[in-house]
Amino acid sequence: EDELIVAEIMKRRFFPAAITHKTWEGFHFAGHEIRITEATDSYGAVVWPSALVLCYFLETNSEHCNLVDKNVIEIGAGTGLVSIVASLLGARVTATDLPELLGNLQHNVLKNTKLKCKHQPCAKELSWGIDLEKNFPSSSCHFDYIMAADVVYHHPFLDELLLTFDHLCKNDTIILWAMKFRLDRENQFVGRFQTLFDLEVIFNFPSLNITLYKAMRKGRMK
């Protein structure tokens, strides 16, 4: 079953038939052809398999995860694929990442959603753990879903990442998090995450070392 679903997910990706001056990949999700401009000089400027896993779940589980008119924030949005798919499925989306990735993120989001979505998504700067209350005030920012794909890897900002999840998550917020398991230090983040949140495994793909989790604040999971 793992290999069959993984094969189905990877079939959603296609590549340009000819070499172009811009590096891009194409994807089929939510009834649309999505073209993502990439760069090879940054981890955040390429599409990783965890994003495809999350997009596949969003598209194929609308009866359990209806995004129409829901407020969604994606952290570590990178190229914007997950945010684009959530927007095409009817959500009000805020795609966030570091300032140096914001230009490409805005380009991809606008190119693939303009005049196609019920709510036009926006791209906003978010450096994990920095100025969270200033930029995302607790009193006025309420998100139904927090989405994250492959945000845990070899970087020194795991404390800030956990702080960001904690700040953005209200009692009824659902976190959808696709995790690629790599090194022990990064994998231990799951245990730290569980000090604040209850976790439920939605998909598990051993062939990709990827698990898709649903999470809520402790005691709030139905």
**Residue from 217, 216, 218, 201 nearest 57 by CA:** 201
Work out the widest C-alpha separation in the chain, in whole angstroms: 52
Q: Residue 94's pLDDT band (boundaries 50, 70, 90)?
A: very high
pLDDT of residue 26: 96
pLDDT in tens, 12-23: 999 887 776 778
Check whether 43 has a pLDDT greater than 80.
no
If phi over 0 gives left and psi between -120 and 50 gives alpha, with beta otherwise, what is residue 95? beta
Show me where the domains of the chain are located: 1-217
Q: Residue 45's pLDDT band (boundaries 50, 70, 90)?
A: confident
Percent of the chain with pLDDT over 70: 96
> Mean pLDDT over all residues of the chain?
93
pLDDT in tens, 119-147: 999 999 999 999 999 999 999 999 999 99
pLDDT of residue 42: 63
pLDDT in tens, 177-208: 999 998 887 889 999 999 999 999 999 999 99
pLDDT of residue 154: 81
